[in-house]
Structure 1
Amino acid sequence: MTSSPTRRTVMTSLLGVLGLGATACTASGHGAQASGEDGGSDEGFPLTLTDCDAEVVLPAAPERVVLLDSAPVTTLAGLGVLDRVVARAGSFPEGYYDDDLTGRLAGIPVLSEDIDTTGHLQISQEVVIAQRPDLVLGLPDGVTREGLRAAGAEVLIPRSYCGGLEERARFEMLFEEISTYGAVFDRAAEAVALVGALQERIETAAALPLGVSTAAVLYASAGGGPLYAYGAPSMATAQLDALGIENVFAGTAQRVFESGTEPLLAADPDLLIVLHEGTVPEEELLTELLGSSRLDSLRAVQDSAVLPLLFNFTEPASPLIVDGLERIGDWLSEQEQAG
């Protein structure tokens, strides 16, 4: 099993990230760098990006955005472009946002809130196209790049969802994602500032006193479905590394995989983090997951070291994972002081 890097190693790897923030995106403006100095230049366009295995060409900064994934909300807000979102679909639990951002989201028309038991959005492509977007963030089942492109819209999805990732997740991946959005929306300066603020918060969270050394991050399907765990390419591993905690599944080169109970029982971590979509009350979720005898023998269950966490606080890479890092660190610090 791969050992977790020390907190010092993780923090050292973040040095120089502010310089990375302005240049690390996989994007090129034909002969020019995108500029967001005043939020209004088009010098970096047309802009060509590689999104998963697809080439995306944006003739100008998007003006009509449809959100099919809640993860980009805080990135868009941090860059000052949330007002370009004309519609949204999926689960946007209030627990992710402060009152101001919650109010702003409430003013965006909702296309669908239909989420299946594995947390996937159910929506038709025709409903999305009817909004006349020039950019769609997220690509749920039933919606295709080709179909949207034919209607004049390009698609971006988080790199975490592209598949084929095998390297251990690092917070630099978050900063690169923000840098890409900065280029897309012509907000490069705002992207650098957002990266700097997040870096400071990560360093503060990493200094908290904690009392655990191993953890597993799980996703429990609603209705007693399969149990999933998160491996090395998951941002869960980056969070745990920053806190000096070993992800017991970091030796797995899959971002998320169906685990079953046996590997979890064999690893017997000090801490369980249970991700969920917010569609079921946390108490009900934990009762369903832990109510049977199958996990009773786990040390984390016996010690009540089980932390439910809204999904986007860990996946994919967005400013919300720094919120998640702080929540994990604060909760463990409180447990340590109380014990």
Structure 2
Amino acid sequence: MTPRPAPRPGPAAPPRRSELGGGTPLRRRTALTGLAGLVGLTAACGTGGTDSGAGAAPGAAGDGTEGYPLALANCETPLRFDAPPERIVLLESSPVTTLDGIGVLDRVVSRAGAFPPGYYDEDLAARIQAIPALSEDVDASGHLLISQETVIAQQPDIVFGLPDGVTREAMADAGAQVVVQEAFCGSGGERASFESLHSSIGVCGRIFDRTAEAEELIAVLRERTAAVSEAAGDLSPRTAAVLYPSVGGGPLYTYGAASMVTAQLDALGIENSFASTAERVVEISAEPLLDADPDLLIVLHQGEGDGSAAVAEMIAEDQLASLRAVQEQAVLPLLFNFAEPASPLVVDGLERIRAWLSEREG
């Protein structure tokens, strides 16, 4: 039986109108969304559910590497790996630190999209810069612009990311499996936790036959997360909202229970003001924000700069100057992948949020 096509993930910026779902109590200029996925230069090595081996079934022993063929399900689509992938194409940025953490970043033959150096240390940034770039073109909403013929020409055996114009079927016909995060598949709804990050790393380790390296990386991330939680104490912000403003006055988005930002705030003992929203991300108007009046605003941004311009534009466009967090300057700009989706960068982001709060509280 032919597998049912999986829902397509959105790119690393706000979704196109065609991706928006039905209305919710959060309204702005148009009917609101509970979308399948926001953000597209952003997916990790995520397949399966909360168990790092979910959906995986090693095939019969053969002449290949032990444990292969390996069968997995990603966004309800069956994947099969006859051997550890050797040629990786990145059509999004968030897998970088997972692949580097398990020691396979040197298998990336090309990349496309934005890979801001602000995410990486000097050594890793230099190694990423040395990877040939297929395209750095994105549209006004941050969606990657690339043809699948360009991707196929790289002869990949695994591709991370699924921007518009690239299909799983075409990649499979060319011998490449496509991996995106389950969070972008529209099958979530559960409150996010760092276990989903650990799960995605574990599956990545299985795909590349780097299970030991994946377990070591998970252990380090667990320790770092626990250290932040233990040091958090009684922070003065008790509530927070995490926002993504569109460039040029477009829709404003906030993140709900299924987003990794909720896991970050939980680790800090801060309540996400919109955790009652089961979706990962929804479009929002000024009214519910003003009603919630959170103690802290975290504003996600992409590209160059420190994010202050995005914050200023959001406040002016959405008339948010009366928010207590704005008046008290409790507004933290944060590069997007430090909060979304699940990757080791989210732990970096957690540490950055805690350090900013500590400095602010003196």
Asked if these proteins are the same fold (TM beyond 0.5), I'd say yes
1:148 to 2:171 alignment? yes
- Relative to structure 1, is the Cα distance of residues 163 and 280 closer, same or farther in structure 2, using a 3 angstrom cutoff? farther
Cα drift, residue 248 of structure 1: 0.6
CA–CA distance in structure 1, aligned partners of residues 139 and 320 of structure 2: 25
Listed as ranges, the matches of 1:305-316 within 5 Å are 305-316=330-341
1:46 to 2:104 alignment? no
Q: Is there any run of 5+ residues in structure 2 with no aligned partner, and where?
A: 1-48
- Matched-pair contact (CA < 8 Å) for 2:299–2:331: yes
Listed as ranges, the matches of 1:275-286 within 5 Å are 275-279=300-304, 282-286=307-311
Number of aligned positions between the proteins: 310
Listed as ranges, the matches of 1:313-332 within 5 Å are 313-332=338-357
SS in 2 for 1:115: coil
Residue in structure 2 matched with residue 30 of structure 1 by the alignment? 59
Q: Is there any run of 5+ residues in structure 1 with no aligned partner, and where?
A: 1-19, 33-40
Aligned counterpart for 2:329 among listed residues 304, 312, 324:
304
- Matched-pair contact (CA < 8 Å) for 2:205–2:214: yes
Residue in structure 1 matched with residue 42 of structure 2 by the alignment? none
- Matched-pair contact (CA < 8 Å) for 2:239–2:296: yes
- Matched-pair contact (CA < 8 Å) for 2:152–2:171: yes
How does the TM-score come out when normalised to structure 2?
0.83
The residue identity in structure 2 corresponding to 1:157 is V
Aligned counterpart for 1:260 among listed residues 265, 282, 285:
285
Cα drift, residue 279 of structure 1: 4.5
- Matched-pair contact (CA < 8 Å) for 2:93–2:113: yes
How does the TM-score come out when normalised to structure 1?
0.88
Residue in structure 1 matched with residue 294 of structure 2 by the alignment? 269
SS in 2 for 1:258: strand
Cα drift, residue 89 of structure 1: 0.6
CA–CA distance in structure 2, aligned partners of residues 23 and 165 of structure 1: 16
- Relative to structure 1, is the Cα distance of residues 293 and 225 closer, same or farther in structure 2, using a 3 angstrom cutoff? closer
1:192 to 2:229 alignment? no
- Matched-pair contact (CA < 8 Å) for 2:286–2:318: no
Cα drift, residue 26 of structure 1: 3.1
SS in 1 for 2:340: coil
SS in 2 for 1:61: coil
CA–CA distance in structure 2, aligned partners of residues 166 and 76 of structure 1: 27
1:78 to 2:107 alignment? no
The residue identity in structure 2 corresponding to 1:93 is P
Cα drift, residue 324 of structure 1: 0.5
Cα drift, residue 293 of structure 1: 6.9
- Matched-pair contact (CA < 8 Å) for 1:21–1:191: no
Listed as ranges, the matches of 1:231-242 within 5 Å are 231-242=256-267
1:208 to 2:237 alignment? no
Indicate the structure with greater helix content.
Answer: 1
1:160 to 2:183 alignment? yes
Cα drift, residue 208 of structure 1: 2.6
Aligned counterpart for 1:249 among listed residues 270, 274, 284:
274
- Relative to structure 1, is the Cα distance of residues 216 and 23 closer, same or farther in structure 2, using a 3 angstrom cutoff? closer
CA–CA distance in structure 2, aligned partners of residues 22 and 170 of structure 1: 12
Cα drift, residue 25 of structure 1: 4.2
1:91 to 2:114 alignment? yes
